Structure 1
Amino acid sequence: MPAFSHGRVRKDASAFSVAHFCTAGLRAKDQFDAWRSLNRDIIELVPTGDESSGFAAEFSSWRLGELVLTRVVYSGAPDRQWRHRPKSYLDHWCVVLARTVGADGARCQDLSFRSLALPFEGRAQDSEVITLYLPRDRRPADEQRFEDAHGLVVSPDFAPLLTDYMDSLVRQMSCVSPEHAASLEMPTRALVAACIVPQPVYREAARAPLGTVLIDRARTVVRQNMASPDFGPDRLARLLAMSRSKLYRLFENSGGVAHFINKERLREAHHRLSSHGDALSIHAIGNEVGFVDHSTFSRAFRREFGYSPTEARERGLARSFADWSETSVQG
């Protein structure tokens, strides 16, 4: 997710550390800006004191298939304030384990579940933050319970289990091969799904509204048919066995049916442009998501994401947790 444009970010395939970054090698007055730049695709860090006094922090991340685990350690637990504003290419779920060590040496921790599709902000002096990112658009069909992340919390009964699991992953991942790490994706997803429950206030409304279910079905149909340039609202309505008027009402508050189809095409292109395993040319990827004309694809892509397909591939901004070098939500 972060662009990791700073020169001191290290790619280390042999140890299976997707990325490692430490501010220790920088001048004190440059440390906060470097850390803020590293985090810019997830959160906006807000200065809370004298930036020139230094900001000691170290970041590491590891891949588990399409999941990403990150760990941030702060020396001296500097005070931090952050804001997250949703971006069209970031709508993932994340489990955040934040620890704070008090002046008396007592350690407290907080485990939370949140969605990057929703805005949030906060302020903390955590000394360690471990985050597990789960891509939304690659979830198995039975993970519908993740859909309303705003109304979900980690079960108090299972929080110790999930905490221990995340700690164990951090301890062991440097010794795990990429192939074996990928095999941990589905068990990890299943464990997270088992550990989250609706907040009491949301229990009555925990069942997904009909509109949400229909939109999810529409998204699946679009992904199955987007390679056809002629695929549009009429065909989507037929495949959903839904009248055109009902389909248009379903999407009237989100830009319309055609906008939804186009957005899904661009999201898929965005994912594939950043994928390690997709060596197709940009033009070919555009064709495979339904764009016949390369210039039309490039213009639509830039309007949606603010940068060109070429820039997305080069910078790796939008990897679906493949080669985005992730950072902690809490900075």
Structure 2
Amino acid sequence: MALLDNSDDRLIPVIRFSTDGMRQSDAHEAWLQRDWPSANILFDTTPLVPFRTTSEAFQLGSLLIMHAKMGSQRWARDEKRIRRDDIDHVTFSVRVSGGARGEANGRSFHAATGSIVAVDLARPNSHDSDSSRTIQIAVPRAITEARLGRVEHLNGAIASSFGAGLVRSHILQLCSRIGAIPGNQQDRLADTVLDLLAVAYADSGVIAPRERGDAALQYKARQQIESRLGSPSLTVAALCKQMGFSRSTLYRLFHDEGGVQTFIRQRRLEAVRSELSDPAIRAPITEIAERWGFCDAAYLGRLFRESYGMTPGEARNQALEASRS
């Protein structure tokens, strides 16, 4: 998802859209074709009543927030669309008025007025929304898992009514004042929104206390790994020492990834593949291997073939041919 630049002390920019004054026959198409943030990127939509909407969108740090009033619609996001846009966020839909009924990757949900429902945009989902007023909060997956726990537990889950009330009252006041808030306050405001979402889903019993703690620890470990991904000194022993973890704790945190060493190796392979996919990067494969912590090109080649079914040279040639077509 595109991000706005509001990192200084200027006011946080707000993007507004309205179908007021448009012909009824043009309103839905105009909404689909508008500039960021366009739902047309994410969903196939079908109006269930004559379409009208007003909306405002803004960014808080890494969070994207859209406050909208909209007529009843059917929304669908399938595997084809997911592969095409490669968006890896979780949306938290605050239902100020009007409900929604649907399915998130096989999990049915009914979000009534006043509730919050979480949906993983990297998984198929669909729902019918009443004519409604909603606030959508889009959070990157890594931040969601660090602050709220594993996304598979959240997908399609409804927050507790108590927690939803806290989030709703705070975010409504934030939306009412957003045009007067300096951009240098965005990270603090984002932290508050995330803390309230964590309270809402902890109170609902969706997230276990240990899971929330492990998610935060894994996020910190991932940050350390990413910052030193190409360094030969990035070892399990060095990571344990730097983070103050035991080997067993580090293994538990990365159990689902096959262990921390497997995670590091896979991230290095992804970095290599990204460079090979860029026709502008013509560095020798030996140099790329060394840059990303592989002892030699032959070792890289064996691991690369195991992961991607081709050699690094074949991957580079494939990218070059695609750029010429």
* TM-score where L is the length of structure 2: 0.57
Contact 2:163-2:197 within 8 A present in 1 as well: no
Which of residues 111, 131, 149 in structure 2 aligns to 1:145? Answer: 149
1:105-116 equivalent positions in 2, closer than 5 A: 108-116=113-121
CA distance in 1 between counterparts of 2:236 and 2:86 reads: 23
- Report Cα offsets for 1:38-71 as digits up to 9, x if no partner: 2133x3223356xxx9632222112222223211
- Report Cα offsets for 1:79-123 as digits up to 9, x if no partner: 333336546853333321124469xxxx94432233333332101
Cα RMSD, aligned residues only: 5.1
Contact 2:114-2:168 within 8 A present in 1 as well: no
Contact 2:163-2:196 within 8 A present in 1 as well: no
Contact 1:65-1:182 within 8 A present in 2 as well: yes
Change (3 A) 1:265 1:25: farther
Unmatched 5+ residue regions in structure 1? Answer: 5-12, 270-281, 309-331
2:43 is the counterpart of 1:72: no
2:222 is the counterpart of 1:223: no
Aligned residue in 2 for 1:82: 76
Aligned residue in 1 for 2:184: 179
Change (3 A) 1:140 1:258: closer
Cα displacement (A) at 1:14: 6.8
Q: Residue 186 of structure 1 aligns to a residue in which SS? A: helix
CA distance in 2 between counterparts of 1:169 and 1:266 reads: 42
Change (3 A) 1:263 1:196: farther
Cα displacement (A) at 1:208: 4.3
Aligned residue in 1 for 2:51: 55
CA distance in 2 between counterparts of 1:99 and 1:21 reads: 19
Q: Percent identity?
A: 19
Cα displacement (A) at 1:22: 2.6
Aligned residue in 1 for 2:107: none
Aligned residue in 2 for 1:16: 12
Aligned residue in 2 for 1:260: 266
CA distance in 2 between counterparts of 1:65 and 1:237 reads: 33
Change (3 A) 1:137 1:213: closer
Which of residues 185, 189, 196 in structure 2 aligns to 1:191? Answer: 196
Aligned residue in 2 for 1:163: 168
Contact 1:96-1:130 within 8 A present in 2 as well: yes
The letter for the 1-side match of 2:59 is R
2:58 is the counterpart of 1:39: no
Change (3 A) 1:266 1:163: farther
Change (3 A) 1:257 1:44: same
- Report Cα offsets for 1:270-301 as digits up to 9, x if no partner: xxxxxxxxxxxx99xxx9xx679xxx9xx88x
Cα displacement (A) at 1:165: 0.8
The letter for the 2-side match of 1:182 is D
CA distance in 2 between counterparts of 1:207 and 1:133 reads: 24
Cα displacement (A) at 1:169: 1.0
2:133 is the counterpart of 1:128: yes
CA distance in 2 between counterparts of 1:55 and 1:89 reads: 28
2:159 is the counterpart of 1:154: yes
CA distance in 1 between counterparts of 2:21 and 2:2 reads: 20
The letter for the 1-side match of 2:226 is R
Change (3 A) 1:2 1:54: farther
Contact 1:98-1:126 within 8 A present in 2 as well: no
Contact 1:146-1:193 within 8 A present in 2 as well: no
Structure in which a larger fraction of residues adopt helix: 2
- Report Cα offsets for 1:185-240 as digits up to 9, x if no partner: 2222222212212766x67x77549x989976874453122244x799xx569857
* TM-score where L is the length of structure 1: 0.56
CA distance in 2 between counterparts of 1:170 and 1:3 reads: 18
Contact 1:198-1:206 within 8 A present in 2 as well: no
Report the number of matched residues: 255
Contact 1:218-1:236 within 8 A present in 2 as well: no
Which one is further off, 109-118 or 59-68?
A: 109-118
The letter for the 2-side match of 1:111 is I
1:244-255 equivalent positions in 2, closer than 5 A: 251=257
Cα displacement (A) at 1:166: 1.3
Contact 2:64-2:139 within 8 A present in 1 as well: yes
